[in-house]
Chain A
Amino acid sequence: MAMAETKSTQGKQVGVYIVLLIMAALQFVIAYSGLGAMQMLFLMLALAIVEAGIAAMFFMHLGSERHGMLAFVGIITVFVLLAMQYGWTDSFRILNGAPWSQTSSK
């Protein structure tokens, strides 16, 4: 790698690092914003997902790999992560009681 190219790459890396720091700081600001828990959770998670995407694309150089590699990693990971979300409704059932038990008590 030529020295000039290294300097330009490092400039870009520092830029990405600053963006990630700002986004991480935003998560802390949201924590003290006084928003509702669900709103806070969604905002923080959205920031974390964008941060993770930026880190994967620029720090882990996934963006400069072949499109096939990007699709391979991206599709499988996203599918696995989404498949794990199937149980959330059940956690609400535990908290609020089963709907049929409420019906039977009427």
Chain B
Amino acid sequence: MTPPAFAVPAKKMAMWLFIMADTGTFAACLVAYGFLRNATPDWPRPFHSITNVALMTFILLTSSLTMLFSVDAAKDGDKSKALRWIFVTAGLGGVFALLHIREWLGLIGEGMKLFSNPWGTGLFGASFFSITGLHLLHVSGGVLALIVIGIRYNTGRYKADDLEITGLYWHFVDLVWMFVVPLVYLMNLGH
């Protein structure tokens, strides 16, 4: 049998290939967003407070740490601890998603729609909702995956390696957020 490429198990390699492809997807969205932002003089700057986005960043970064704790516990064979940390991670992801939705509802309440808003070019809503929506979709999918894999790990169907592979995805979602925050939020702060 052919040995695995770079001595990386097939499942892990598949996840890395997915992450590389998804990096391209997010990068394309962010570059397109930057292109529009740069070429549009009346770009809106509707964000007046950083409290929500700062809290969301803190929660997502912390969830990456709890994910690592879960994988470490699973590698130690401590099933209950691994399960506890994976559910803490999923819980933090859920809180992040709720905060995100609350923020969306706030902006919609202020009159921001997909193709129009009270502050400037209508392109802002389309780009904001598509980028943050794509990220939110990843977070929501990640939360579901964490719950399913946690349950299956508990029943013995999945092993520590499977948790580690799910962790790769979760860290990637966190990593993308590090670019979304400055480009989409912090560059659009209304001073």
Name A residues whose Cβ lies closer than 8 Å to a Cβ of B. 1, 3, 6, 9-10, 13-14, 17, 20-21, 24, 27-28, 30-32, 37, 40-41, 44-45, 47-48, 51-52, 55-56, 59-60, 65-66, 68-69, 72-73, 76-77, 80-81, 84-85, 87-88, 90-92, 94-95
Contacts and interface: CB of A to CB of B under 8 A. Distances in A.
Interface residues of B, number: 46
B66 to A, nearest CB: 10
26 contacts: A1-B72, A1-B76, A3-B76, A6-B75, A9-B72, A13-B72, A24-B178, A30-B186, A31-B50, A32-B191, A37-B187, A40-B187, A48-B181, A55-B175, A59-B167, A60-B167, A60-B168, A60-B171, A65-B8, A66-B6, A69-B5, A77-B20, A80-B20, A80-B24, A85-B31, A94-B39
Chain A contact residues, majority secondary structure: helix
A44 B31 contact: no
Nearest to B21: A80
B54 interface: yes
Given A1-B72, A66-B6, A55 B64 contact: yes
B24 A27 contact: no
B69 interface: yes
Nearest to A85: B31
Given A13-B65, A48-B182, A66-B7, A28 B54 contact: yes
A13 B168 CA distance: 15
Given A60-B172, A68-B6, A91-B39, A84 B28 contact: yes
Contact of B175 (A52, A80, A87): A52
A103 B96 CA distance: 52
A103 B152 CA distance: 68
A91 B38 contact: yes
Nearest to B74: A1
B175 A69 contact: no
A68 B8 CA distance: 10
Contacts of B75: 1, 6
A35 to B, nearest CB: 11
Contact of B50 (A28, A41, A84, A91): A28
B58 interface: yes
What 9 A-B pairs come out closest when comparing CB atoms? Answer: A44-B182, A69-B6, A94-B39, A31-B186, A91-B38, A91-B39, A59-B171, A91-B35, A17-B65
B187 A41 contact: yes
Contacts of A77: 20, 23
Given A37-B187, A84-B31, A48 B68 contact: no
B184 to A, nearest CB: 11
B35 A59 contact: no
B50 A80 contact: no
